[in-house]
Structure 1
Amino acid sequence: MVIRKPQGALTCEERCIVKALLAKGWRNQDIQHLINRGRIATVNSARITEVKNSADVEPAASDHLEFYMHKKNSYDPVTGLNLYDDERLIRAREAMILAVQSFNSPSLRFKTEQFAVQSNIAWTYLLHEYYIRKDKNIVHKNGRTFSLSKMVERSDFPLSDGIRNNIRDINEIRDAVEHKLLGRSDVKFFSLFQAACLNFDQSICELFGNSISLKSDLSIALQFAKMNFTQLNDLQKYDIPEHISALDAELEGRLSEAEKADLEYRFRVVYLLEGASKNKANFEFVRPESKEGKKIHNILEKRVIADDDYPYKPDQAREKIREMSGRKFTLYNHKQAWKRYKVRPQSGATEKSNTDKRYCIFHKAHGDYTYNDAWVSLVVEKISSEEEYNALKETR
């Protein structure tokens, strides 16, 4: 027969602590408050009275009592983690926070190296704590604890295949740090790192509770959204060192297309950087399993309005249309076209920038409209019809 301790019962250690505190003149309610700090099953005042009335309980030694009180004062009021009981989880959280902070820091140059190393430490501590709580021995015969690379290959690995693949690849990058200079690799592995941050926060909450989420310590998207996307685009134009490209190709080559498309392996999201109304955000985040998320799937897109994308002033657009269509086409015809197809506001409109950006944009700096190749193609296609052409013909 197994004898189970009732909920809220004092342990032998706690009974001795209570006896020592009573001897010091503590009141029942103060002892109860101290004992219940960080305790899942709280005790009531009757338990304290039982110890007070028992002659069989010996008071704890002074040094034991001193450490007990110090430990009880070591709980984080936000996360509920204790410096002594939850040291691995505290270290895991701090390592991931350091990984993000180092990647975001404008003064640090070795971002990939810093993130890969700190992320490896964070995942190692988190998984060690998981296996210990599952009563698994994490120490090998040689005295070394389980490495991260070994834990992700275990059959009882507690997380998804997408997270497993993401950890594997960042671990490979961490190993490469020991032997090679990774140079301009930050942008190359950005999406892997973003996924790692989101995966870590999801995993630590699922395994150990929502109270220890990093959301209270890091902003939306774990701060990576603060990167300048124009600079990000420019960085991608530079040549990537051959050994970095080779490492990236090796990592990509191991996975199927479905595995590479997994958002837990490599984070992807559409960023639409255009003007938006007040009731619509420029950045929109959707759940991967939602209808919108499935449509977006694994696309990473940056859309920036640029002068080079709309190179034609009205007369230049008119001339291109004339050349491509072989028809007489005047500026009046062009004006009739943009009115008919509603690609820009009427002259004198208050909201001049309210254009159909598939074809036209307004330049606030010099107060005019320019058009792109899509506009030229649209008009050429339209005026291939005699009816449309006649609708735009100059009438005097």
Structure 2
Amino acid sequence: REGIDYRHTKNQNGAKVVFKTPNGAEKFWDLSHCLKHARCPIEQGFRDNLSYLLDLRHEIEHRSTNRIDDAVSAKLQACCINFNDAIKSMFGVQYALERRLPIALQFVTFSPDQRAVLKKAGDLPRHIETMMDDFERRLTPEQQIDPRFAYRVFMIHKTANRAPGTDLAVELIPPESDIAEKFSLALKEVEKKKFLPKEIVDTMNAEGWDRFTMHSHTKLWQRLAAKDPAKSYGAVAVGRQWCWYETWLNRVREECQQHPDQYKTLPPA
């Protein structure tokens, strides 16, 4: 859609010739080639993450190693999040994966003693360690701590004292707690950004949905019962004024993308 020819070509007697496979199919760029293109649409942290995983894949090739999970889990988690973010930014929030794959379940747990034994016995093959070290040495400190390159969080195990709390699988550590001081990163609970109805309409208009009006917005939230507290699309803020959260803004954007003929003035045929 960007007008880029992503086939492997060569100039032969002034004409562009496309490389073919032994079976006659056209040869297309691989991911590494795409990442190096000047018009690659993903951000630097995304590219660093994918380049790292590509180098790792090439180093392992078709050999098997079962001692690598701890070393690359942060990069794999970042890759999953980056992939979903790229889908939403380039193709629309209606294709977001969190609607279909919202959580991941782990089927095994280890005691601290078991984990210590596993880590002690889990040295990586030397050639893989070398590849990882060489790659990360080429990154700046800012690139190394970018969550789009490696996504890391700290969690604590807790046994709930009362029944309602037993459904909570993960507890986030309050940043002011004693536990948080022991970590280099704590997840902070932040105030959700709020939007007035006019701000929702103005945002959609600025994005090109010029036929999306306040009336359109009112009809949409009424049809979807968006003020139902269970849907967490918004809340009554200071002054008893209803404000919308960013989740609703994304839902409105999705509605516009799904019905462009209704919310955008289309050019004459």
TM-score normalised by structure 1 residue count? 0.36
2:134 alignment partner, one of 250, 260, 277: 250
What are the residue-to-residue correspondences of 1:1-396 with 2, within 5 Å? 133-141=1-9, 142=19, 143-178=26-61, 180-220=63-103, 223=104, 228=109, 230=111, 234-238=117-121, 239-276=123-160, 281=168, 283-284=170-171, 299=185
What is the aligned partner in structure 2 of residue 358 from structure 1? none
Distance (whole Å) between structure 1 residues aligned to residue 176 and residue 147 of structure 2 = 15
Distance (whole Å) between structure 1 residues aligned to residue 130 and residue 124 of structure 2 = 10
Whichever residue aligns with residue 149 of structure 2, its letter is Y
Shift in CA distance, 219/267, structure 1 to aligned 2, threshold 3 Å: same
Q: Report the CA distance between 1:149 and its aligned residue.
A: 0.6
Instruction: Among all aligned residue pairs of Structure 1 and Structure 2, give the percentage whose two residues are the same amino acid.
Output: 25
Distance (whole Å) between structure 1 residues aligned to residue 58 and residue 33 of structure 2 = 14
Whichever residue aligns with residue 251 of structure 1, its letter is F
What is the aligned partner in structure 1 of residue 266 from structure 2? none
Pairs aligned (count) = 161
Distance (whole Å) between structure 2 residues aligned to residue 150 and residue 248 of structure 1 = 20
What is the aligned partner in structure 2 of residue 21 from structure 1? none
Unpaired stretches in structure 1, ≥5 consecutive residues: 1-132, 301-396
Shift in CA distance, 179/216, structure 1 to aligned 2, threshold 3 Å: same
CA contact (8 A) 2:59 2:128 kept: no
- Please give the secondary structure, in 2, of the residue aligned with 1:270: coil
Q: Report the CA distance between 1:219 and its aligned residue.
A: 3.5
Shift in CA distance, 291/206, structure 1 to aligned 2, threshold 3 Å: farther
Q: Report the CA distance between 1:270 and its aligned residue.
A: 0.9
Q: Report the CA distance between 1:190 and its aligned residue.
A: 1.2
Shift in CA distance, 252/211, structure 1 to aligned 2, threshold 3 Å: same
Shift in CA distance, 282/218, structure 1 to aligned 2, threshold 3 Å: closer
Distance (whole Å) between structure 1 residues aligned to residue 57 and residue 172 of structure 2 = 29
Q: Deviations over 1:43-102 (max 9, x none)?
A: xxxxxxxxxxxxxxxxxxxxxxxxxxxxxxxxxxxxxxxxxxxxxxxxxxxxxxxxxxxx
Distance (whole Å) between structure 2 residues aligned to residue 291 and residue 167 of structure 1 = 35
Q: Report the CA distance between 1:148 and its aligned residue.
A: 0.6
- Please give the secondary structure, in 2, of the residue aligned with 1:250: helix
Distance (whole Å) between structure 2 residues aligned to residue 202 and residue 275 of structure 1 = 33
TM-score normalised by structure 2 residue count? 0.51
Whichever residue aligns with residue 237 of structure 1, its letter is K
- Please give the secondary structure, in 2, of the residue aligned with 1:272: coil
Q: Report the CA distance between 1:264 and its aligned residue.
A: 0.8
Whichever residue aligns with residue 228 of structure 1, its letter is T
Q: Deviations over 1:216-236 (max 9, x none)?
A: 33242xx26555354655432
CA contact (8 A) 2:50 2:79 kept: yes
Superposition RMSD in Å: 3.3
4+ residue runs over 3 A deviation? 179-183, 224-227, 229-234, 275-282, 295-300
Whichever residue aligns with residue 71 of structure 2, its letter is K
Whichever residue aligns with residue 218 of structure 1, its letter is L
Q: Report the CA distance between 1:180 and its aligned residue.
A: 4.7
Distance (whole Å) between structure 2 residues aligned to residue 137 and residue 194 of structure 1 = 31
Flag the structure with more relative contact order, 1 or 2, with Cα contacts below 8 A and sequence separation at least 6: 2
Unpaired stretches in structure 2, ≥5 consecutive residues: 10-18, 20-25, 187-269
Distance (whole Å) between structure 2 residues aligned to residue 166 and residue 148 of structure 1 = 12
